[in-house]
Amino acid sequence: MSDPSTPLPDVHVQAEVLVQALPHMQRYDQQMVVIKYGGHAMGDRAAAEDFAEDVVLLEQAGIKPVVVHGGGPQIGKMLEKLGIKSEFKGGLRVTDEATVEVVEMVLAGSINKQIVGWIGAEGGKAVGLSGKDGNMVVARKVTRTAVDPDSNIEKVVDLGFVGEPEQVNREVLDQVLQAELIPVLAPVAIGQDGQTYNVNADTFAGAIAGALTAKRLLLLTDVPGVLDKNKNLIPEMTIEDCRRLIADGTITDGMIPKIETCIYALERGVEAVVILDGKVPHAVLLELFTDHGAGTLIRRG
């Protein structure tokens, strides 16, 4: 029995919210949605529980969520604890043999199973995997160049065991999704040479979304979305807009690789990509099940 002291209007509001969500649920029914979960939202317990609730609700509503997670801050803490010094070149962590072991331990071990546990605590059934399982993601070594400040000559930067997806085998993912389980993926991949590679989580998520031809790719970050030069949110963009804003300097720094990932996914058949703030409570539900959205929506054109 419900508490008679509960105000009836609240119940009606809840019913109205569910009715308004119905067309959105129908749009995504049996569709795949890839969610990249990262940033500082991962370190906040309340935000993590909200995220797990969102993922379980998506699955219960007939959507097929696939979670890809990062873990840069946690890797940094573990390296510090073990006395292994980190070096960054061009915004990417130089990953030597000792570092790649820690990366795999943190990403495919502690963080991955923690997220699986959060989803399980909310009543979902998740399976933790990395790109190495079933040769899901085969990576090639990343090559980058940088201008030497002394000689002004462009030189190749060796980032060690940092990779980028070369091919994605969706067989394991298809079987997991067919069993109505939620895949939680760590961005660690295997190379053709059998070497383990550390892959940027955004890039990894884009490759997975493209291979699955997902309905949506959601990139949860620490910012509200893509901002214009006045720091106002840009609610919607096309690929052409993205390239123009990179060229004129509006999109800079760490947002550039995120946008490049969005373009990559869209060109491989993903319907739309959204960059949104993972610190906003239930950001995933706001984006998928309401008219308001929660970040910057990017389409092909």
Instruction: Look at residues 259, 170, 184 and name the one whose alpha carbon lies nearest to residue 219.
Output: 259
Which residues are paired to 67 by β-bridges?
35, 184
Q: Is 70 annotated as a binding residue?
A: no
Q: Distance of CA 93 to CAs 71, 72, 163, 203, Å?
A: 12, 9, 11, 14
Question: What would the DSSP string read from start to end of 1-60?
Answer: ---TTS-HHHHHHHHHHHHHHHHHHHHHTT-EEEEEE-GGGGG-HHHHHHHHHHHHHHHH
Angle of helix 201-212 versus helix 255-267 axis, rounded to 10? 10
120 is in an annotated binding site: no
Cα 105 to Cα 74, 85, 231, 257, distances in angstroms: 11, 17, 38, 25
169 annotated ligand binder = no
Q: Is 71 annotated as a binding residue?
A: yes
Q: Which residues does the annotation place in the binding site?
A: 71-72, 93, 198
Q: Which residues does the annotation place in the binding site for substrate?
A: 71-72, 93, 198
